[in-house]
């Protein structure tokens, strides 16, 4: 059905837009968003008696490197999702086999986005650096909301499409 294909294209584009806006914000407001990364990596707001603070990274150069890696991953997520949405759009009226093949970039971009927000923020930031212990520098709810949205789109887009009705 044409509406299902159109919906998949729009949803991939929406994730591309979101990742673009996040990356743009991190680039144009580097300082305030950098502070978040710096505090999480430094583990300076975890519970005072936490025994996991040996994991803290306190070197400013490593804070900047980590932040630049996050920004690069967000830019890559955005770019690959936009490419994916574009390829799907160009194939929207094609045979099912061709349209299903056109999803590869979209699936790649959505998977990358999942990795950024689930692995990067939830697993590494949340668990390894104990972001969950911070009342000030805790982005787990936001990261969860984003990665669940992305995984929902990923599942929907991954569903095989049939032939268009004539």
For the stretch 124-140, pLDDT in tens is 999 999 999 999 999 99
Average pLDDT over residues 1-17: 95
Predicted confidence (pLDDT) per residue in 47-91, tens digit: 999 999 999 999 999 999 999 999 999 999 999 999 999 999 999
* pLDDT tens column, 148-166: 999 999 999 999 998 887 5
> Domain extents for the chain?
2-158
Mean pLDDT of 17-22: 98
DSSP-derived secondary structure for 3-59:
HHHHHHHHHHHHHHHHHHHHHHHHHHTHHHHHHHHHHHHHTTTS-TT-TTGGG----
> DSSP labels for 73-107?
HHHHHHHHHHHHHHHHHHTTTS-HHHHHHHTHHHH
pLDDT band at 36 (very low <50, low <70, confident <90, very high): very high
């Amino acid at each position: 059905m044409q509406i299902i294909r159109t919906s998949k294209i729009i949803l991939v584009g929406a994730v591309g837009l979101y990742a673009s806006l996040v990356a743009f914000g991190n680039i144009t407001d580097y300082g305030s968003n950098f502070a978040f990364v710096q505090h999480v990596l430094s583990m300076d707001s975890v519970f005072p008696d936490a025994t996991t603070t040996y994991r803290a990274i306190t070197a400013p150069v490593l804070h900047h490197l980590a932040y630049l890696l996050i920004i690069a991953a967000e830019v890559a997520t955005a770019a690959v999702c936009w490419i994916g949405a574009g390829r799907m759009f160009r194939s929207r009226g094609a045979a099912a086999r061709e349209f299903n093949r056109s999803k590869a970039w979209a699936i790649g971009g959505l998977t990358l986005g999942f990795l950024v927000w689930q692995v990067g923020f939830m697993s590494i930031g949340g668990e390894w650096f104990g972001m969950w212990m911070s009342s000030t520098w805790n982005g787990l709810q936001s990261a969860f909301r984003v990665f669940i949205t992305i995984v929902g789109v990923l599942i929907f887009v991954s569903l095989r499409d049939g032939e268009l009705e004539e």
